[in-house]
């Protein structure tokens, strides 16, 4: 079955500017990328019968050309060994210029701004290339299982299994997050909730029912990705959200305890207040969206359901107030202000939730038509994006 492995790689200016998008750990243009390490790990894979598409994502369209050139330099030594496509901001711009008058109602959903839009490109590109299966991988990982591709394709599409989430091996080994539980996490224990899911991996059986799947190790069949999109109106956690969007539409989506990859993330530079802000927006929106869909919160336990219950707003208030006081004791007034501002963010996120949900419903209604158009015009689209193959 034709397979495409898709790898987004995020890049920023050496000195970020106001207005640039913020990702967890984009690579500055003057620094070495983790992408090279991932591509070098391809050599361990016994099955190399797949296409690879690298999607280079700039924090600002202004640096799109520089990012494209940088990534092309990284890819050059590997192109003789693997069939690699590269999709960049300039390629997206050219695509929009060529097709905007033909599909103006679809064009806004072809985007490289924000995690969910990037993930949607991670399934649109395989569809352009005619793939039946998309394997989503992140650039801060390495392959250690020589049979990874075989395992990824072994059961996908069989017995109506159209979505599979794999496992992450942590840098220190094992699947669970380590470290002493920080006292301020009394009501915000995200790692504890996620570790409950990772505990399933060691239980008997290969496939498990799960409430969480990471898009850095995810296998999606065409039957699913042509019918269900990632939600552009969720700022992060788009992978767990996608799993539940798929379940709402009746698709089977399981955790594969044998499909593993090593995760070696660089140290993030975003302050804790920002991370909490983005999590607040996602949990508030996801909670309201699932209520609108009539999807039981209990089916999202232990994660993200831990944050989707009726006590969410108490958790937000208590945690951010506590962290604001802690920041004041450390004379970090800016962070203290940001934590207090997060409480207001929750209120705004709730007000925006219904509007965003309606916009997502519009995308869901358009998505099949969008993907049908891509399938019918893939040859012409490929010529627009890649003049040489």
Percent of the chain with pLDDT over 90: 90
Residue 308 near residue 283, CB atoms below 8 Å: yes
pLDDT for the residue numbered 387? 64
User: What per-residue confidence (pLDDT) applies to 268?
Assistant: 78
**Residue 218 vs residues 9, 133, 281: alpha-carbon distances, Å:** 16, 10, 24
The contacts of residue 41 (CB under 8 Å, 6+ apart) are: 142, 143, 144
CA atoms within 13 A on the CB side of 380: 8
Strand, helix or coil for residue 225: helix
Task: DSSP for 20-74, please give it.
Answer: ----SSPEETTS--THHHHHHGGGG-S---SEEEEEEEESSGGGHHHHHHHHHHH
Cα 82 to Cα 162: distance, rounded to the nearest angstrom: 26
Distance CA 348, CA 280 (A): 10
Nearest Cα residue to 228 out of 134, 359, 360, 364? 364
> How would you write the pLDDT of the chain (389 residues) with one tens digit per residue?
999 999 999 999 988 888 889 999 899 999 889 999 999 999 999 999 999 999 999 999 999 999 999 999 999 999 999 999 999 999 999 999 999 999 999 999 999 999 999 999 999 999 999 999 999 999 999 999 999 999 999 999 999 999 999 999 999 889 998 877 788 888 999 999 999 999 999 899 999 999 999 999 999 999 999 999 999 999 899 999 999 999 999 999 999 999 999 999 988 788 999 999 999 999 999 999 999 999 999 999 999 999 999 999 999 999 999 999 999 999 999 999 999 999 999 999 999 999 999 999 999 999 999 999 999 999 999 999 986 44
In degrees and rounded to multiples of 5, residue 59 shows phi and psi of -70, -15
338 token code pair = 């940001």
- pLDDT, position 388: 42
Closest CA to 306 of 314, 296, 317, 298: 298
Please give the helix or strand (H or E) that residue 319 lies within, else none: helix 312-329
Is the alpha carbon torsion for 153, 154, 158, 160 positive or negative? negative
- CB-based contact 208:257 (threshold 8 Å): yes
Rounded Cα–Cα distance for residues 301 and 320 (Å) = 23
What is the residue-wise DSSP string for 169-206? E-TTSSSS--SPPPGGGGG--HHHHHHHHHGGGGSSSS
The whole-number pLDDT of residue 307 equals 96
* Count of beta carbons in the 10 Å neighbourhood of residue 319: 20
Q: Are strands 252-263 and 161-169 parallel, antiparallel or unpaired?
A: parallel
pTM of the model: 0.96
Enter the tokens of residue 165: 């989430």
- For residues 126 and 21, the answer to whether their CB atoms sit within 8 Å is no
**How much is the pLDDT for 181?**
78
Q: Enumerate domains of the chain plus CATH numbers.
A: 3-269+362-385 (3.90.550.10)
The C-alpha atoms of residue 389 and residue 380 are separated, in whole angstroms, by 13
- pLDDT tens digits, 239-264: 999 999 999 999 999 999 999 999 99
């Amino acid at each position: 079955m034709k397979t495409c492995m898709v790898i987004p790689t995020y890049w920023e200016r050496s000195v970020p500017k106001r207005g640039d998008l913020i990702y967890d750990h984009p690579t500055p243009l003057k620094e070495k990328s983790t992408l090279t390490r991932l591509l070098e790990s391809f050599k361990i894979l016994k099955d190399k019968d797949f296409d690879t598409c690298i999607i280079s994502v700039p924090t600002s369209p202004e640096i799109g050309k520089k990012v494209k050139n940088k990534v092309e330099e990284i890819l050059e030594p590997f192109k003789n060994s693997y069939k690699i496509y590269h999709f960049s901001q300039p390629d997206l711009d050219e695509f929009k210029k060529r097709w905007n008058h033909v599909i103006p109602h679809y064009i806004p959903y072809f985007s490289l701004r924000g995690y969910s839009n990037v993930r949607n490109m991670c399934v649109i590109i395989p569809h352009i290339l005619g793939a039946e299966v998309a394997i989503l991988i992140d650039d801060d990982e390495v392959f250690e299982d020589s049979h990874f591709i075989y395992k990824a394709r072994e059961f996908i599409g069989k017995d109506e299994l159209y979505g599979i989430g794999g496992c992450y091996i942590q840098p220190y080994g094992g699947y669970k997050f380590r470290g002493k539980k920080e006292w301020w996490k009394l009501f915000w224990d995200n790692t504890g909730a996620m570790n409950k899911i990772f505990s399933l991996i060691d239980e008997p059986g290969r496939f498990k029912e799960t409430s969480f799947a990471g898009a850095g190790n995810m296998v999606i069949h065409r039957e699913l990705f042509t019918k269900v999109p990632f939600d552009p109106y969720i700022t992060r956690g788009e992978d767990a959200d996608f799993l539940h969007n798929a379940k709402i539409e009746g698709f089977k989506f399981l955790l594969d305890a044998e499909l593993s990859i090593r995760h070696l993330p660089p140290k993030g530079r975003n302050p804790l207040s920002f991370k909490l802000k983005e999590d607040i927006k996602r949990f508030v929106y996801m909670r309201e969206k699932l209520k609108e869909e009539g999807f039981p919160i209990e089916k999202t336990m232990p994660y993200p359901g831990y944050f989707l219950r009726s006590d969410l707003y108490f958790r937000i208030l208590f945690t951010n107030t506590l962290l604001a006081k802690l920041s004041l004791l450390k004379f970090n007034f800016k962070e203290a202000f940001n934590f207090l501002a997060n409480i207001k963010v929750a209120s705004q996120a709730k007000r925006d939730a219904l509007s965003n949900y309606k916009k997502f419903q519009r995308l869901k209604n358009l998505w099949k038509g969008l993907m049908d158009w891509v399938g019918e015009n893939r040859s012409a689209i490929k010529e627009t994006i890649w003049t040489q193959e």
